[in-house]
C-alpha cells in the first residue's frame, strides 16, 4: 500500500542536499542505494511495487533490491525510525540542519526527483538521479569488459567463440556473480547459449539470487533456450532438476 506518512521539513532538506550537493557526486554505490531505499519507503510505499526487474535491467533491479532491503530492515518499525536513519546518513555526509540547499544540478526538480520512473515503482529523489546514472554507467562498463561475459552482454558471438578458443573458462563468474550462460539465457541469445553448451557449460550453477540458466530463460519467456538446456539435462540423466 502507498504510504500516508508526511516527511518532516528536515527530511525534505536532507533529500535536497544529497541530491544536489556537488561534493557527493563520487558517493559510493552502496550508500546511494541505501538512501534510495529509505527514501522510497517514506515517499512511495513500505515495500517495492511490482515484480522484481530481471537481469536485463541493472538499474531497476538494484533499486528494487535496495527498496526491498530497507523494507525488511525496518519491518515493524514506524516511518519515523526510517526517517531518522535517512537523516543520520545525510548528517554523516555533511548535511547540517538549517543549512540552505545546494544549487540544483541541471535537469533536477525538487529534492532531486527523477523525471522518469524506475526501480520498480516510480521515480525517486534524494539520490534517485545519481543512482540511476551510476547504474547505467555500471551496465555500460559491463558491456565494455574484454572478457567472456562482456562479449555475451554485447551479443558478440564471434568474440564469445574467440574467448573460449583462447582458453576462457566457460563457467567463470563475473563481478556480479553471473556466468556467461546466465547472461545469455536471460537475454535470449540462443546461438551463444548453444556455443556455451557445446563447450560444456555447467547448467546447474546458480547466480547470487539462486537462479540457473534455465530458470532465467523460463522467467524471460525464452522457450527455445529452455528446450536447449533441458536437452543437456536429459542427456546427463538430470531431467527434472532444471531449476
Q: What digits encode the pLDDT tens for the residues 58-110?
A: 777 888 889 999 999 999 999 999 999 999 999 999 999 876 555 544 444 43
DSSP for 88-153? HHHHHTT--TTPPPPPPPTT--GGG--SS--SSSS---SSHHHHHHHHHHHHHHHHH-SSHHHHHH
What pLDDT sits at residue 24?
Answer: 80
Q: What is the pTM of this model?
A: 0.55
What pLDDT sits at residue 178?
Answer: 87
Query: What would the mean pLDDT of 205-222 be, rounded to a whole number?
Result: 87
* Continuous segment of H or E residues that includes residue 233: helix 223-235
Q: What are phi and psi of 2, to 5 degrees?
A: -70, 145
Reported residue count of the chain is 243
Nearest partner of 125 among 113, 133, 117, 134, judged by Cα: 113
The model's pLDDT over 173-212, given as tens digits with 9 standing for 90+, comes to 987 788 999 999 988 899 999 999 999 999 999 988 788 9
- Looking at 3.40.50.1100, 1.25.40.20, 1.10.10.10, 1.20.1250.20, the CATH number of the domain 146-235 comes to 1.25.40.20
In sequence order, the β-bridge partners of residue 45 are 2
Q: Report residue 3's pLDDT band, with 50, 70 and 90 as the boundaries.
A: confident
The model's pLDDT over 48-59, given as tens digits with 9 standing for 90+, comes to 887 777 765 777
What pLDDT sits at residue 125?
Answer: 47
What pLDDT sits at residue 126?
Answer: 53
pLDDT above 80 for 117:
no
The span from the CA of 188 to the CA of 213, in Å, is: 11
DSSP state for residue 52 in the 8-state scheme: P
The span from the CA of 40 to the CA of 227, in Å, is: 40
What pLDDT sits at residue 162?
Answer: 96
CATH topology of domain 9-97+124-139: Acyl-CoA Binding Protein (1.20.80)
Domain range annotation of the chain: 9-97+124-139, 146-235
| Long-range residue pairs from 147-155, CB within 8 A, at least 24 positions apart, any chain | 147/172, 147/174, 148/172, 148/180, 149/174, 149/178, 149/179, 149/180, 149/183, 152/180, 152/183, 152/184, 152/187, 152/189, 152/192, 153/183, 153/187, 155/187, 155/189, 155/192
CB 194 within 8 A of CB 226: no
What pLDDT sits at residue 1?
Answer: 59
Nearest partner of 188 among 155, 162, 161, judged by Cα: 155
The model's pLDDT over 136-179, given as tens digits with 9 standing for 90+, comes to 555 555 666 678 998 998 899 999 999 999 999 999 998 778 89
What pLDDT sits at residue 146?
Answer: 77
CB 33 within 8 A of CB 119: no
Amino acid at each position: 500500500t502507498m504510504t500516508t506518512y508526511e516527511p518532516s521539513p528536515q527530511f525534505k532538506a536532507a533529500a535536497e542536499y544529497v541530491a544536489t550537493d556537488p561534493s557527493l557526486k563520487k558517493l559510493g554505490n552502496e550508500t546511494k542505494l541505501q538512501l534510495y531505499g529509505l527514501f522510497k519507503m517514506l515517499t512511495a510505499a513500505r515495500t517495492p511495487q511490482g515484480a522484481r526487474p530481471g537481469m536485463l535491467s541493472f538499474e531497476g533491479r538494484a533499486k528494487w533490491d535496495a527498496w526491498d532491503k530497507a523494507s525488511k530492515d525496518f519491518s515493524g518499525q514506524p516511518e519515523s525510525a526510517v526517517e531518522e536513519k535517512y537523516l543520520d546518513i545525510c548528517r554523516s555526509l555533511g548535511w547540517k540542519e538549517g543549512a540552505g540547499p545546494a544549487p540544483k544540478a541541471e535537469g533536477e526538480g525538487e529534492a532531486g526527483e527523477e523525471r522518469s520512473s524506475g526501480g520498480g515503482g516510480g521515480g525517486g529523489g534524494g539520490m534517485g538521479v545519481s543512482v540511476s546514472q551510476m547504474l547505467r554507467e555500471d551496465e555500460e562498463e559491463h558491456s565494455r569488459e574484454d572478457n567472456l561475459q562482456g562479449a555475451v552482454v554485447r551479443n558478440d558471438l564471434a568474440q564469445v567463440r574467440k574467448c573460449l578458443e583462447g582458453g576462457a573458462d566457460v563457467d567463470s563468474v563475473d563481478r556480479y556473480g553471473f556466468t556467461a550462460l546466465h547472461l545469455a539465457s536471460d537475454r535470449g541469445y540462443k546461438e551463444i547459449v548453444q556455443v556455451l553448451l557445446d563447450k560444456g557449460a555447467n547448467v546447474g550453477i546458480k547466480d547470487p539470487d539462486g537462479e540457473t540458466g534455465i530458470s532465467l530463460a523460463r522467467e524471460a519467456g525464452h522457450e527455445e533456450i529452455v528446450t536447449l538446456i533441458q536437452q543437456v539435462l536429459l542427456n546427463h540423466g538430470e531431467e527434472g532438476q532444471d531449476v
